[in-house]
Amino acid sequence: MKYVKKFWNHLYHPTPNEPIPFIIMQSNREIIIEHVDELLSFSDQMISLYCQSGTVEVHGKQLAILLMKKSELVISGHIMAIKFYPGERRKR
C-alpha cells in the first residue's frame, strides 16, 4: 500500500516539465504504460521499466510484452502488483 500512495502522490504532484509514466490498466490482464525510456529487465513474473521520473515494476504471472512502440509498452498476463519508485533507477 505504501507504493500505491507514493505513486498517486507523484501523479498528482509532478515536478514541472517532467513526463510521468501514464498507466492504463484494463482489468488485471492488460496494462498500457506510456513515457517508457528503457526496458530494464523482463521475465514472465516481473517486468521493470525506466522512465525519467522513476522505475515502474509490474509483477504477475505469465507476463508478456504485446507491443513496444516508441515510448509505449503493452503488457499482458495475470497482473498482481504495480510498484513505482519515483526518482530511482532500480535494476534487478
Reported as a single tens digit per residue, the pLDDT across 58-82 is 999 999 999 888 888 899 999 999 9
pLDDT, tens only, 4-41: 566 656 555 555 555 566 777 777 889 888 888 899 99
pLDDT digit string, tens, across residues 41-57:
999 999 999 987 889 99
Domains and CATH numbers, the chain: 2-86 (2.60.40.2000)
Q: Which three cell numbers stand for residue 64?
A: 508478456
| Residues 66, 76 contacting (CB under 8 angstroms) | yes
pTM above 0.85, yes or no: no
Provide the pairing of β-strand 72-86 with 30-34: antiparallel
65: three-class secondary structure by DSSP:
strand
From its phi and psi, is residue 87 left (phi > 0), alpha (psi between -120 and 50) or beta? left
8 Å CB contact between 55 and 82: no
